[in-house]
Amino acid sequence: PLTGASKLKAKNELIEPWAVTADNVPLLFATTVGRARVAAFAGDTTYLWCTVSKQPDLHQRFWRQMILWLARKEADTDQPVWVKVQPRNLAPGGVSTLTFGARAVDGSPLKEAEFQIKVIGPDGVETSLTPRSANGEYSAEFLKTQAPGDYWVRASAKQGGQMLGFDAFTRFIVDARDLELDYPSADYEFLKQLASITGGSTQNPEELDGLIDRLKVAKLSDLTRIQLITLWDNWWFLMTFVSVMSLEWFLRKKRGLV
pTM listed for this prediction: 0.48
Rounded average pLDDT over 152-167:
84
Q: Can you tell me the distance from the alpha carbon of 74 to that of 246, in angstroms, rounded to the nearest whole number?
A: 94
Domain 81-174: which CATH class?
Answer: mainly beta
Rounded average pLDDT over 141-150:
89
Whether residue 58 has pLDDT greater than 80: no
Rounded average pLDDT over 124-150:
86
How far is C-alpha 154 from the geometric centre of its chain's CA atoms? 22
Q: Can you tell me the distance from the alpha carbon of 119 to that of 140, in angstroms, rounded to the nearest whole number?
A: 11
- Strand stretches in 136-236, DSSP E: 137-142, 149-159, 162-163, 168-174
Q: For residue 119, what pLDDT is reported?
A: 92
Task: Return the amino acid letter for 208.
Answer: L
Q: For residue 78, what pLDDT is reported?
A: 62
Q: For residue 244, what pLDDT is reported?
A: 92
Q: Can you tell me the distance from the alpha carbon of 57 to that of 61, in angstroms, rounded to the nearest whole number?
A: 6
Whether residue 249 has pLDDT greater than 70: yes
Q: For residue 72, what pLDDT is reported?
A: 67
Highest mean pLDDT among 55-59, 176-180, 189-193, 199-203: 189-193
Q: For residue 63, what pLDDT is reported?
A: 81
Q: Can you tell me the distance from the alpha carbon of 84 to that of 80, in angstroms, rounded to the nearest whole number?
A: 13
β-pairing verdict for 96-102 and 16-20? unpaired
Segment 5-45, tens digit of pLDDT: 888 888 887 788 888 888 888 888 888 777 788 888 888 88
Of 112-126, 143-157, 200-214, which gets the smallest average pLDDT? Answer: 200-214
- Could you state, in order of their start, the residue ranges of all structural domains in the chain? 16-70, 81-174
The helix/strand/coil state of 236 is helix
Q: Can you tell me the distance from the alpha carbon of 129 to that of 119, in angstroms, rounded to the nearest whole number?
A: 8
* Mean pLDDT score across all residues of the chain: 82
Rounded average pLDDT over 220-243:
80
Whether residue 85 has pLDDT greater than 70: yes
Contact status, residue 160 vs residue 114, Cβ threshold 8 Å: no
Rounded average pLDDT over 225-252:
84
pLDDT bin (cut points 50, 70, 90) of residue 241 is confident
Q: Which residue has the higher pLDDT, 116 or 257?
A: 116
pLDDT bin (cut points 50, 70, 90) of residue 142 is very high
pLDDT bin (cut points 50, 70, 90) of residue 220 is low
Segment 190-199, tens digit of pLDDT: 888 988 898 8
